[in-house]
Amino acid sequence: MVLAANPRASLEGQHFYVVVIGGGINGVAVARECARAGKQTLLIEQNDFASGVTSRSTRIIHGGLRYLEHGELNLVRESLREREKLLRDKSHLVHPIHFLLLLNESSERSAMKVRAGLWLYERMAGKPPSAGATEMELKRLERALDAGHRWSFFDYEDAQCEFPERLVAECLMEAVEAGAVVRNHMEALAVNVAHGRIHGVLLRDHITGRDERVDASWVINCSGPWADRVCQRSSIRMNKPMLGGIRGSHIVLPRFSGSPTAAIYTEAVDGRPIFVLPWNEQVLVGTTEVADSSDPAQTVPSADEVNYLVRSVAQLFPKAKISGQSVKHAFAGIRPLPYSPDNRPSAVTRRHILHDHSDDGAARMISVIGGKLTTAASLARDCARRIGLHATEPNTIAMGPGPALDPLLDDAVLEIARIGAVSEESARGMLEWHGKRAADIARTALVSAELRAPICPHTSHVIAEVVEAYRREYAVTLADVLLRRVPVALSACWSESCSREAALRIGAVLGWNDHTMGANLEAFEMERAAFLRPAAKAEAALEAAAD
């Protein structure tokens, strides 16, 4: 691991009321909630914040239309409430998106059942029915679809968060502002258990190489698919696993002729629901559901999964002639769903479960199982209440000083452009990814032309945003910045030449020598390739499956 010069104090011997293990969306939300309740809180993450399951999600904020099929009305109601809160409070990151649910004559779901489900969904959301797609949009989509089928179209509204990594970064900063201590690249080696209760955590700082011990009154295990492993390393014995990991894989395609401008919710080749989404000037397709008990850090999409998703899109849009060679990237993550060996993956609840380890001989430790991007804040409130804290209600959460700035408003864009002497395009990019913090970043950009320069020639995002990531958002590695804090490396045009140019421009501002520059660049490229499986590997996997 190549690290930036970002020294941090030792935690050895410190006492925290609560230690939260795991820095995905759930762990960061829990840490924020505990800190806001006035308790000394430590959040640790073995890699980087949002680098696990959060970054491998389908990137939608939704009520869970499909959960209605399984009768989980309370989960749908909770999800819809949290969706509306995110649309209100994080409008620069979470935005409404129009969905078209597509069925043909061979669908396993009847049109009557779908209409009833959508009616209930809209009633539970408390919103008027969607205005629907325009006739022009529908005709364009019909021309692109398989003409051999009779298609039915159903409209509804949900939301999308294209960059949940940024959502986590903002939640992290709110936790810190409330008093939380946060550490990424710090691993929980074991929870210290004695006389039937937890007493602290043994940590390893991957930056310094030091092992440190901290005392804790409570431990919240939010490590997602690593939750059982944390217990095993801590010699906490249980009768059965907490998790039944389900791998979800996605593919990323370039925009193709006829690719939808709305989000598509339809059935894959086997009748399972899948999404085909416009995302980051590309097309995101997912997801699969495959049982996986392997190391979550090593999970990759299988050849069968990539083939399944390619065939599903190709069948839907035959005129686009999509094949394995069309795949830009594929990525996978393991959903930390409850252990439920007798149920099909799609039938396993997505509602979170808080497992109290008192009966396992580790009182005052809670493991969080399940949950989803949309409901992280409500999960955090439940956790806080479980350990005796007063949880803030959705309408009373302090979001920081001043109103959120809307990147869709020209006045806000012009103001940021004026403050930082940057282009309107760069100002809009700052607003879209940083919201109300954009003004501070613009003031940093004003200091020099190097800070106003784009990160690479193909993006409007500037070096000042990188400086902010290192200075205030706890980025340590180049991958922390370019994949998560300022995720330009997820863009459609990113290439090895972009990586080199970005490293040169960032290194010049941060004062890297040639060795540091080369080491940072090499480590970044390795992490990006491990996350976004390159198209060549996806194609090789398909060829191997065919043999």
**CA-CA distances (angstroms) from residue 339 to 347, 353, 452?**
12, 11, 50
Q: Token match 């949002």: residue?
A: 50
Q: What was the pLDDT predicted at 513?
A: 95
Query: Mapping DSSP to helix (H, G, I), strand (E, B) and coil, where does residue 281 land?
Result: coil
Quick one: which of 247, 369, 256 has its CA closest to 306? 247
Q: What was the pLDDT predicted at 404?
A: 54
DSSP assignment letter at 325: G
- Phi-psi domain of 380 (left: phi exceeds 0; alpha: psi -120 through 50; beta: other): alpha
Q: Is the peptide bond before 287 cis (omega within 30 degrees of 0)?
A: yes
**C-alpha–C-alpha distance, residues 22 and 44, integer Å:** 6
Packed helices 438-445 and 424-434: angle between N→C axes, nearest 10 degrees: 140
pTM: 0.93
Q: Token match 């959120």: residue?
A: 404
Helix, strand and coil percent figures for the chain, each rounded to 5: 45, 20, 35
Q: Token match 């709305």: residue?
A: 262
Backbone angles phi, psi at 395, to 5 degrees: -90, 5
**C-alpha–C-alpha distance, residues 334 and 332, integer Å:** 7
Q: Give, in degrees to the nearest 5, the angle at Cα 452 between 475 and 183.
A: 10
Query: Residue 452 half-sphere exposure, CB side, CA atoms within 13 Å?
Result: 18
Non-local (6+) Cβ contacts of 507 within 8 A are: 516, 517, 520
Residues 52-90: b if buried by 16+ CB within 10 A, e if exposed:
bbbbbbbbbbbbbbbbbebebeebbebbbbbbbbbbebb
**CATH for 15-54+165-242+349-396, options being 1.10.150.110, 3.30.420.40, 3.50.50.60, 1.20.120.80:** 3.50.50.60
Query: Mapping DSSP to helix (H, G, I), strand (E, B) and coil, where does residue 67 land?
Result: helix
CATH architecture, domain defined by 93-160+244-334: 2-Layer Sandwich (3.30)
Q: What was the pLDDT predicted at 174?
A: 97
DSSP assignment letter at 79: H
**C-alpha–C-alpha distance, residues 201 and 21, integer Å:** 10
Q: What was the pLDDT predicted at 61?
A: 96
Backbone angles phi, psi at 418, to 5 degrees: -70, -45
**C-alpha–C-alpha distance, residues 115 and 109, integer Å:** 10
CATH architecture, domain defined by 410-534: Orthogonal Bundle (1.10)
Q: Which amino acid is at 537?
A: K
Q: Which amino acid is at 191?
A: V
Q: Are strands 181-183 and 186-194 parallel, antiparallel or unpaired?
A: unpaired
**C-alpha–C-alpha distance, residues 103 and 119, integer Å:** 17
| Other CB atoms within 10 A of residue 491 CB | 15
Q: What was the pLDDT predicted at 502?
A: 97
For the CA atoms of the chain, what is the radius of gyration? 23
Sequence ranges of the domains in the chain: 15-54+165-242+349-396, 93-160+244-334, 410-534
Per-residue pLDDT for the chain (547 aa), expressed as one digit of tens each? 444 445 789 999 999 999 999 999 999 999 999 999 999 999 999 999 999 999 999 999 998 888 887 788 899 999 999 999 999 999 999 999 999 999 988 887 888 888 888 889 888 988 776 667 777 788 888 888 888 888 889 999 999 999 999 999 999 999 999 999 999 999 999 999 999 999 999 999 999 999 999 999 999 999 999 999 999 999 999 989 999 889 999 999 999 988 988 999 999 998 889 999 999 999 999 999 999 988 999 999 999 999 999 999 999 999 999 999 999 999 999 999 888 877 777 667 778 899 999 999 999 999 999 989 999 999 999 999 999 998 876 554 444 444 455 655 789 999 999 999 999 999 999 999 999 999 999 999 999 999 999 999 999 999 999 999 999 999 999 999 999 999 999 999 999 999 999 999 999 999 999 999 999 999 999 999 999 987 655 455 445 544 4
**C-alpha–C-alpha distance, residues 334 and 290, integer Å:** 9
Q: What was the pLDDT predicted at 229?
A: 95
Contact predicate 445/452, CB 8 Å: yes
